[in-house]
Structure 1
Amino acid sequence: MFLQKEMSKKANVTFFCMDVTCRYWPYLNKLAEGLPELLPLTDMRPFLSVMHAKAHTAKCEVRWGGRSQDRAGNTVGEEVEQVNSFLSRAALVTKYMTKAGRVNMLTQQAMGWNRRKRDNLHQALAHRYLKITDRAKVEAVSLRSIKEQHNLDQETTQQWVCDVRQWALTDRVYTPGCTEDLRAEIENLTVTLLRKKQDLYRQHDSNQTRQRKRKTMAQLKIKLRDLVLQYNTTMEGDQIDEELACSLTDGYILPWETHEDDFGDLTEDATHGLNSVLSRRWHYLKSQKKQAVNAYSSIASKELVFFHIQEDIEDWEDNGFTSPESEEEET
């Protein structure tokens, strides 16, 4: 909040990008109700960066994602991560320096980054403008083809967009102990355990660190098992397989994920449109799979012919005959 307030004094900031915008912005609005001096900060338009929006829920991505904001363009929102990536190159050099030398070196690197970015700003903006313009043309052609394929007009597509945004604004309130609350906790624990299992050997090199992570995973599995037992006791049908869920078996799908055919709070027209887009995507992937199968089949047939020729050559040599290839080599 301090940085936002100071930057708003020095420049006319329109957008506010942060990896926890979905948590920070409601907090800021709540404080602005009691502190009028913070009201100018709420005039900015908050959004999440591309990477963090993908990591959040679907509603959070639609509501706070930078790609869903008007006049935000094709903004990535990872400028701070780019600076950190650049400064990380000085880690091997500065870790043997004194504290004062390290601070001085990092300061010089940051000032050099700002100077190069300011000098190359005109080229970067021109390149980004051309890139976004080309991307807009491609998306316009894709939207036009979808409209022609499903016989849609502009008002229908706009209504779909409004329905999806309205769906993202509606937050379901779960009462303690309800079925939806248990489902959300089970999904959260399952995703957390799968991510920790995947990163166990990829991000940790020492056995001591892995041992601590395994201990944490064991505690989470106990908690997950308790939640699964509570869910199976509450629900009569669609029981969760306790062993498959708690052992993180690959390919196991929770019961409510296999039987849900609706898309939350979408209207009938929006659901029909989403089904149409998914069906079009499915047919495209099916055609791509067919092309890949044909390509591999042709390669396999050529390899089979080559193997038959090789066997014939070996049979000729075993019977005392010479193949044309061997005669050419002797001559």
Structure 2
Amino acid sequence: MKMASPGMSCQAFLRMLEKRTVRFGRTGKLSSDSFQKSFFEWAAVQYEVDAICKEEQFSCPACTPAMLAVSVDGNRKLYRFKSTARSEERPIFDGVFIANDEDVTRFVDQVHTKTKHVTGKGICGGEWLAARETSCRSRSKVDEEGLELAVCRHGVLLSALNMFRGEIYAYPMFLQNQLAPKHDITFFCMDVACKYWPYLQRVCLDCPELQSLQNMRPFLSVLHAKAHDFKCEVKWSGANQDGAGSTLGEEVEQCNAFLSRIAVTTKHMSKAGRNDMLTLLSMRWNQQKFQNLANSLSQRYHKTSRALNVQLGDLETLKAKLQLQEKNMEEFVQDVKDWADDSNKCRHRIRRKIRQEKTTLQTMLAKYNSLVTPEQAVCMDHILDTEHPWPWQITQEGAVDFSTKKEVFDRVMAVRRLQEEKKILVKEIKQHWDSLKSHARVLSEWSFHQSENTQQGHLTENAKKGVTCLIRRRLRQMKELQRRARKVYLHVLSNPENDNQFFCTTDSSDEFDFSSESSDSDVDAM
């Protein structure tokens, strides 16, 4: 019910349940506290059952073992009021998805102690709430101020933490440090990566144990980059990062759109209840993603193929219009990159030079006006409004203006990212298929082991049968998921619109193997 209607509270559900059961002769009221506790305990048992079957709830099969990108952002709608009833009991899912608050606080205090902590705001083309490092609370009536979430590029929730000080840089750094040992991550995506990455570099000077975090590459979310400074977009945007493909870095937003719908029901829950409810719904969200992952990857490949054909046509049209060669295009791309790298350094130098020259010009005008009659005097506005162009407004003969170079740069980057995306999707399809086969093989071997091993003294006969039945049922579900994924991926392979060379590598051992390691008849026999 919570997945279908996240905004429904436990009390509303119980009132509906009471109305229904009274109709059938039941009397008395349902205790909301007892019902909620029983529900979470039942969910905890289901989580243990999944753990027995070797199912990872917070790990993306398509991103294992190599994860291209992790997107981190805060959701400040998931706060909790201080006035909520207090309870000493710990969450049932403590540390499963939402990190332990003591661990987070210890990490933040350690970073702030070892580094020169300065309260302030970072500005890049505008004022961003996330671009700050402040240790003070922004809301006096709330306890937790929201969640900081880490999501892979397929929208699978990986980890989270409770925010107590707003969106400070130490929170995404904690998640980055937590995920780095588990996954081989290439890009770290943020809405303010241009501000966060210099901060991380400064922290690493005082905290050598965090040096490994710089092995990742900074990635400014593509849509947020449009609102940043122009040179910042060119330098940091994921659309211009080699190897990023069509990753947006905004994947956490779709998770926020789902989790924010339950914000009304978690504001007044206890600390343990809020933690357990958010963890439970995050697991259900991930399960839906796992079920639809094959369709999602195949559809993404089709869209990428179509978009690449369109971008290639647009690029050829632009080349013909400007009469450019490949060499000229590469020069334009490099000119834009060099401008983005040097513009920050040159900006202050140019401004200082303009101020100096303006002061000199005003001095010369004052001296000139003192030597001539008032009718012959010249004012500064008259000089600035003259029709004669300034030197930087004069385009040399045969030269190309910067706007044209930027247009070529954008077209070239779009084509490169789409070409990379096709190769990345093929790699993720292979990783997903290998993950399905590996999981089915583990369940099959374990099922055989449970059937053969009858010397388990610590288990009763009914317990042995229950475990064996559970494993075989999960194996059947996994085989069904394999069948659907195999059908989808073979359709992608056999589609004549796709360029099948991306599905074949030079090493024959890396080619796709859609064969099943155990026959369907063996599964049906179970």
Query: What TM-score does the superposition give when structure 1 sets the normalisation length?
Result: 0.53
Match of 1:165 in 2: 337
Residue-by-residue CA offset, 1:210-253 (whole Å, 9 max, x unaligned): xxxxxxxxxxxxxxxxxxxxxxxxx943899xxxxxxxxxxxxx
Distance 1:104 1:6, change over 3 A: closer
Residue-by-residue CA offset, 1:21-43 (whole Å, 9 max, x unaligned): 10111222344456544333222
Q: Once the 2 structures are TM-superposed, how far is the Cα of residue 274 of structure 1 from its aligned partner?
A: 0.9
Residue-by-residue CA offset, 1:295-327 (whole Å, 9 max, x unaligned): xxxxxxxxxxxxxxxxxxxxxxxxxxxxxxxxx
Match of 1:3 in 2: 175
Match of 1:60 in 2: 232
Q: Secondary structure at the match of 1:55?
A: coil
Matched, 1:174 2:348: yes
Distance 1:75 1:271, change over 3 A: same
Q: Secondary structure at the match of 2:218?
A: strand
Tell me how far apart the structure 1 counterparts of residues 382 and 289 of structure 2 sit (CA, whole Å). Answer: 57
Matched, 1:114 2:244: no
Q: Once the 2 structures are TM-superposed, how far is the Cα of residue 46 of structure 1 from its aligned partner?
A: 1.2
Matched, 1:26 2:198: yes
Tell me how far apart the structure 2 counterparts of residues 101 and 162 of structure 1 sit (CA, whole Å). Answer: 54
Q: Once the 2 structures are TM-superposed, how far is the Cα of residue 99 of structure 1 from its aligned partner?
A: 4.6
The answer to whether the 8 Å contact 2:190/2:220 transfers is yes
Distance 1:102 1:4, change over 3 A: closer
The answer to whether the 8 Å contact 2:222/2:237 transfers is yes
Q: How many percent identity over aligned positions?
A: 42
Distance 1:14 1:276, change over 3 A: closer
Correspondence for 2:381 among 237, 256, 281: 237
Tell me how far apart the structure 1 counterparts of residues 348 and 305 of structure 2 sit (CA, whole Å). Answer: 43
Match of 2:321 in 1: 149
The answer to whether the 8 Å contact 2:333/2:405 transfers is no
Tell me how far apart the structure 2 counterparts of residues 36 and 95 of structure 1 sit (CA, whole Å). Answer: 39
The answer to whether the 8 Å contact 1:160/1:269 transfers is no
Structure 2 residue identity aligned to 1:46: P
The answer to whether the 8 Å contact 1:164/1:270 transfers is no
Distance 1:35 1:106, change over 3 A: closer
Distance 1:2 1:270, change over 3 A: farther
Tell me how far apart the structure 2 counterparts of residues 69 and 275 of structure 1 sit (CA, whole Å). Answer: 18
Structure 2 residue identity aligned to 1:63: K
Tell me how far apart the structure 2 counterparts of residues 91 and 239 of structure 1 sit (CA, whole Å). Answer: 60
Instruction: Determine which structure has greater relative contact order: mean sequence separation of CA pairs < 8 Å that are 6+ residues apart, divided by chain length.
Output: 2
Distance 1:3 1:168, change over 3 A: same
The answer to whether the 8 Å contact 1:73/1:132 transfers is no
Tell me how far apart the structure 1 counterparts of residues 260 and 186 of structure 2 sit (CA, whole Å). Answer: 29
Match of 1:76 in 2: 248
Whose helix fraction is larger, Structure 1's or Structure 2's?
1
Match of 1:41 in 2: 213
Distance 1:152 1:29, change over 3 A: same
Residues paired across the two proteins, number: 204
Match of 1:125 in 2: 297
Distance 1:34 1:138, change over 3 A: same
Distance 1:78 1:262, change over 3 A: farther
Match of 1:274 in 2: 404
Q: Secondary structure at the match of 1:71?
A: coil
Distance 1:5 1:129, change over 3 A: same
Distance 1:25 1:275, change over 3 A: closer
Whose strand fraction is larger, Structure 1's or Structure 2's?
2
Tell me how far apart the structure 1 counterparts of residues 201 and 281 of structure 2 sit (CA, whole Å). Answer: 37
Structure 2 residue identity aligned to 1:271: D
Q: What are the ranges of 5 or more consecutive residues in structure 2 without an aligned counterpart? A: 1-172, 356-378, 409-526
Tell me how far apart the structure 1 counterparts of residues 288 and 321 of structure 2 sit (CA, whole Å). Answer: 48
Q: Which consecutive segments of 4 or more residues in structure 1 shift more than 6 A?
A: none
Q: What are the ranges of 5 or more consecutive residues in structure 1 without an aligned counterpart? A: 182-234, 241-254, 279-331
Tell me how far apart the structure 2 counterparts of residues 277 and 261 of structure 1 sit (CA, whole Å). Answer: 24
Tell me how far apart the structure 2 counterparts of residues 9 and 276 of structure 1 sit (CA, whole Å). Answer: 39
Tell me how far apart the structure 1 counterparts of residues 274 and 335 of structure 2 sit (CA, whole Å). Answer: 53
Tell me how far apart the structure 2 counterparts of residues 88 and 155 of structure 1 sit (CA, whole Å). Answer: 50
The answer to whether the 8 Å contact 1:18/1:48 transfers is yes
Tell me how far apart the structure 2 counterparts of residues 52 and 39 of structure 1 sit (CA, whole Å). Answer: 27
Query: What TM-score does the superposition give when structure 2 sets the normalisation length?
Result: 0.35
Matched, 1:85 2:257: yes
Structure 1 vs Structure 2 CA RMSD: 3.5
